[in-house]
Amino acid sequence: MTGTDLAAVLAGARLLPVLTVPSTATAGLLADAVAAGGARCAEVTFRTPVAERVLKEMAAHGGLALGSSWMATTDHLRRGDYEDIRRLTAEAVERSMT
């Protein structure tokens, strides 16, 4: 995602929910509720062991641009299994991976 893409996603966004989701069971419903409340994007923290799966579940529901505030290891980015997740990644993290 480029800086321009990030600016487009955040344009007009007055709120950026930061979520710590302990269970994948509620991820889809949470994505729907956050989008229904008018949010355009959300950040999922990597404070739980299921955060990666939560991001995938939330992405499957659409309607939100998703980001993550922290990656447990750089291996999460290297594996490449985030292609189905629209995430907002800090340029510093991207540069550190190249």
CATH of the domain at 19: 3.20.20.70
Please give the structure tokens belonging to residue 81.
């299994």
Q: Which residues form the domain of 25?
A: 3-97
Please give the structure tokens belonging to residue 34.
């956050």
Mean pLDDT per block of 10 residues along the chain (98 residues) reads 64 84 94 91 87 89 78 59 45 45
Q: How far apart, in whole angstroms, are the C-alpha atoms of residue 14 and residue 25?
A: 28
Q: What is the dihedral of CA 8, 80, 72, 63, to 10 degrees?
A: 40
* Total domain count, the chain: 1
